[in-house]
Amino acid sequence: MTDAITITDLVVERGRRRVLHGLSCAIPRGLVTGLLGPSGSGKTTLLRAIVGVQVVRGGTVTVLGEPAGSASLRHRIGYMTQAPSVYTDLTVRENARYFAALHGRPATEADEAVDAVGLAGARGQLVGTLSGGQRNRASLACAIVGRPDLLVLDEPTVGLDPVLRADLWATFHEMAGRGTTLLVSSHVMDEAGRCDRLLLIREGRLVADDTPDAIRAATAQHDLEAAFLELIREGARA
Ligand SMILES: Nc1ncnc2c1ncn2[C@@H]1O[C@H](COP(=O)(O)OP(=O)(O)OP(=O)(O)O)[C@@H](O)[C@H]1O
């Protein structure tokens, strides 16, 4: 299996504080990789380095065979930030169609993206009048509309009810089945089990990089939250 992303010795400082401390990992193509860790552990910073919008102090980040931030990657990566990046004075459908046009995609694909995030019933509604969770999903529709090779999603399921969350995770796996690589951050450990692979980070260092089952086996913990705690304890003992 080839890797979509390779990160070597990545060091990032933000506001004079070291946030990522020489992090190295590889993210395989065509799978859903979860980036899990407590609030402030450096998840968003790592995602920013991957999409090429973060100044890095050291190390390398290679994405789809190119250095992160290369112009050639712009149409190949979809990025959903934590703050919804949509126009509040346009409808859901207009937003999705606008982003589709930027990627040279037809309006039909924009409408499919709106359906995929469960917003078909609100497609004609102004984004400014949507609930927070709906607005997040409108933002997600705009991120997936270009049919990117790599989709980087920063906490895409925050504020969603369990049914919608399950639907969205099913959508992520369908996309992976069609060859898209997904990197999805979350600090909700019950979402970890839905991923093909997991990166667990804490205080800017990688604590684990494996499948959920391998992490369970290595820690003799079925519950991934307990497994995460066990890995932290092991790290402290070492
Ligand atoms: N613009 C900034 N200037 C200075 N420090 C920053 C800046 N942005 C983030 N940080 C710090 O970098 C660290 C990592 O932040 P980051 O947003 O990557 O964490 P996170 O794991 O994504 O957190 P959360 O789950 O709460 O979104 C935190 O200590 C944060 O305070």
Written as one string, the DSSP assignment of 38-73 is -TTSSHHHHHHHHHT-S--SEEEEEETTEETT-GGG
Q: Would the CB of 84 count as within 6 Å of ligand 1?
A: no
Q: What is the pLDDT of residues 106-123, one digit of tens each?
A: 999 999 999 989 899 999
Q: Would residue 176 count as lying in a domain?
A: no
Q: Whose CA is nearest to atom 10 of ligand 1?
A: 14
Q: Would residue 62 count as lying in a domain?
A: no
| Amino acid letter, residue 115 | D
Q: Would the CB of 54 count as within 6 Å of ligand 1?
A: no
Q: Would residue 143 count as lying in a domain?
A: yes
Q: Would the CB of 40 count as within 6 Å of ligand 1?
A: yes
Q: Would residue 21 count as lying in a domain?
A: no
Q: Would residue 108 count as lying in a domain?
A: yes
Q: Would the CB of 21 count as within 6 Å of ligand 1?
A: no
Tell me the mean pLDDT in the region 84-91: 93
pLDDT for 163: 85
- As a whole number of angstroms, the distance between CA 198 and CA 177 comes to 18
Band of residue 199 on the pLDDT scale cut at 50, 70, 90? very high
Q: Would residue 163 count as lying in a domain?
A: no
Of the chain, the percentage scoring pLDDT greater than 90 comes to 76
Q: Would the CB of 202 count as within 6 Å of ligand 1?
A: no
The overall pTM is greater than 0.90: yes
Distance 11 CA to ligand 1 centre (A): 14
Average pLDDT, the chain: 93
Q: Would the CB of 44 count as within 6 Å of ligand 1?
A: yes
pLDDT for 238: 75
Q: Would residue 116 count as lying in a domain?
A: yes
Q: Would residue 71 count as lying in a domain?
A: no
Q: Would the CB of 201 count as within 6 Å of ligand 1?
A: no
If one counts the domains in the chain, the total is 1
Domain residues for 112?
A: 85-147
Distance 139 CA to ligand 1 centre (A): 21
Q: Show Cβ contacts of residue 54 under 8 Å, excluding neighbours closer than 6 positions.
A: 12, 45, 48
- Count other Cβ atoms within 10 Å, centred on residue 13: 14
The answer on pLDDT for 1 being more than 80 is no
Q: What is the pLDDT of residues 121-134, one digit of tens each?
A: 999 999 999 998 89
